[in-house]
Structure 1
Amino acid sequence: MFDINNILRENIKNLKPYSSARDEFQGEASVYLDANENAFGSPLDTAYNRYPDPLQFQVKKRLSEIKGVPPRNIFLGNGSDEAIDILFRSFCNPVADNVILVPPTYGMYEVSANINDVQIKKVNLTDDYQLNMEGIAEAIDAHTKMIFICSPNNPTGNSINRDDIETLLTNFKGLVVVDEAYINFSRQKSFIQELTEYANLVVLQTLSKAWGLAGLRVGMAFASEEIIEVMNKVKPPYNINEASQQLALQALQNTTQVNAWIKEVLAERDKLVLELRNFEFVLDIYPSDANFILVKTTDAKGIYNYLVQHGIIVRDRSKVELCEGSLRFTIGTPKENVILINTLKNFK
């Protein structure tokens, strides 16, 4: 049985969070003289002289309508990276504890672990980029606090077998963090709907991909109320600025446009796969549930440098374990994809 107190750091259990002026008064008033703000305004047309809502209620309310979960189960971070870092700082004791990563995967899990001085246990994915369940079971010990799973996975693009993730959720006594940054492009359903089933589940999502708001840095974590309460206690008081909250809320009103973009990305992905298969230097194109494809080539470095010379930047993943010889192509606009293919036709 999962018990949050068994994995929560002692100092976090006893932590008294910073109490901001906006935490102490959350209602509406006509005169605010409590937060040492500039009462005269700012040089900008929009009034950014006031501190933002520390718990981003309006944004969470709209996300609740879209995702079908209560606002109390939602955490907003300065990108998903902040949510990842807060999980480490909340649940992993430096030096003493460890987490399990399943490479190839998103690189920030390892960076955040290293920043927080938390041991990493790596259990590589299988040759078909699925979980090595036996290896994970052997790696777990009494000090294993979290397992990070990116699905759809970056950089491989495939979704991780759902039954395997559920097996971990059922049997592991720590947190299972499922990073769904690319879920909008996937045929798989989100694990958000399983929050009531698994108390140790944390689902990460973002507004940076399908929603096209990478520049605003708004990431999301969905979890039980007690996990969200811990994350809110540890986060900086005003971690999402007012401009990002306003613009995110504005964007979240337009699901129709986002859904149209998703359909176009998926259509362009299929077209790009068909075009790339015609090139002799393409050895394999891995199945993708994301807005990118991983392509194994005969000369990844040569192709990468050639494209750079022509003003086209892709991601060289050839030095990543299990991705040798591979390049990652993000799905661009129809025009950008045509430029890519036409340029590759002249590669020798």
Structure 2
Amino acid sequence: MKEFNLNTLVRKNILSLQPYTSFRDNSEFKAPVLLDANECPFGEFNRYPDSTQKKLKSKLADLKKVTPSQIALGNGSDELIDLIIKIFCEPKKDTILMMNPSFAMYAFYAAVNENEVVKLNLDENFEIVKGDFLKITQERDIKVFFLCSPNNPTGNSVQDIEFFIRNFDGIVVIDEAYIEFSENRSAIELLDKYPNLIVLQTFSKAWGTAGARVGAAYASKEIIRFINTVKAPYNVNSLSQELILNLLDDKDRLKNNVESILQERTWLEQEFKNMECIIKIFPTDANFFLIKVNNAQTVYQKMLDKEILTSQRSPAIQDCIRINVGSREENKKLINVLKAIAS
């Protein structure tokens, strides 16, 4: 990696942009009369939420061993992906790089921002070929590289992740939506080593609060400052902030969720191995499986007919279906339907 200068990567109009600031969020009052924001004076949630999410960031900082100034919160990780592209990628000019196959929303938000998407095709084991990565990044001027690890929809983790951070001159975004189900350590530990790194995590998966829509970005305080400048003023609502704050006080919630899901993952894998219709079970570090089946469209449709909802990945990934781990009751229903299909 060349000598890193963040200002050369940020769009020029963003460099001069002034963030929206709430007077309340930057001041301390004991018993204020709030007549400044045109709110209704009645109701349980009549006031705007804390736009800076101070309490939540403080708790997260302790948990993740970073400072609050290294955290940005979003309306799910999706908002943060969108903001990152807007901050660093000039419309109709700049390019992002992503693994293929991987999470579709990287390409979606790039398209919204009119940015080109270069796809780095994975090998037959869904690994990145380092030579292909080096060739593409040497031939193309790419601003942002999205690495999903564990990867959606394949389930495997990116190997030797520091190699890709070291050998990329732009912003590297590591999306760790499924990191809690993996034995690998979070790339958050690498933030002090690599100033071009952003790590995304979410409360939607292992924490079990997809409905709250809260995602987090961890990066240098300089990168976080730009994210906070561009984000909407009240992007994480009061109910969601309160819910996540209470979750972080429940020390056993995450541990119990992960243990239960991993136990069910092991049970499901054993059941899958006995299914004649399943050709291959790909290794997974996530809370889902990618499986290869005979006649994927038929299997998918028959499951759907029984109201078993899965994710059809064929033809993009030939003959493959992604199935996430459910409760034991849900998993048994899935297995019974698969057994009926096989018979």
By the TM > 0.5 criterion, same fold?
yes
Contact 2:76 2:215 in 1 (8 A): yes
Matched positions, count: 339
What SS is found at the alignment partner of 1:197? coil
CA distance in 1, matches of 2:19, 2:71: 18
* TM-score, normalisation: structure 1: 0.94
Aligned to 2:75: 78
Q: Structure 1 residue 28: deviation in Å? A: 4.2
| 2:139 is the alignment partner of 1:137 | no
Q: CA offsets, 1:23-64, max 9 Å, x none? A: 45354433222222222x22xxxx211111001111111111
CA distance in 2, matches of 1:79, 1:314: 22
Contact 1:21 1:35 in 2 (8 A): no
Aligned to 1:97: 94
Opposite residue 103 of structure 2, the aligned amino acid is: Y
Q: CA offsets, 1:195-240, max 9 Å, x none? A: 1011001000000000011001000100000000000000011100
Q: Structure 1 residue 125: deviation in Å? A: 1.1
Opposite residue 336 of structure 1, the aligned amino acid is: E
Q: CA offsets, 1:55-100, max 9 Å, x none? A: 1111111111221111111110000000000001100001111011
Contact 1:296 1:327 in 2 (8 A): yes
Q: Structure 1 residue 185: deviation in Å? A: 0.3
| 2:220 is the alignment partner of 1:232 | no
Q: Structure 1 residue 142: deviation in Å? A: 6.4
CA distance in 2, matches of 1:207, 1:13: 30
CA distance in 1, matches of 2:48, 2:115: 34
| 2:162 is the alignment partner of 1:166 | yes
Identity across matched positions, percent: 43
Structure 2: gaps spanning 5 or more residues: none
Aligned to 2:16: 14
Q: Structure 1 residue 22: deviation in Å? A: 3.0
* TM-score, normalisation: structure 2: 0.96
| Superposed counterparts of 1:135-214, under 5 Å | 135-140=132-137, 143-161=141-159, 163=160, 165-214=161-210
Aligned to 2:52: 55
Residue from 236, 250, 261 that aligns with 2:257: 261
- After superposition, the Cα gap between the structure-2 partners of 1:28 and 1:151, relative to the gap in structure 1 and judged at 3 Å, is farther
Q: Structure 1 residue 174: deviation in Å? A: 0.7
Residue from 309, 320, 326 that aligns with 1:326: 320
Aligned to 2:295: 299
CA distance in 2, matches of 1:346, 1:142: 50
Structure 1: gaps spanning 5 or more residues: none
RMSD in angstroms over aligned alpha carbons?
A: 1.3
Runs of 4+ with >6 A deviation: none
Contact 1:148 1:178 in 2 (8 A): yes
Contact 1:22 1:54 in 2 (8 A): no
Aligned to 1:124: 121
| 2:279 is the alignment partner of 1:283 | yes
Opposite residue 13 of structure 2, the aligned amino acid is: N
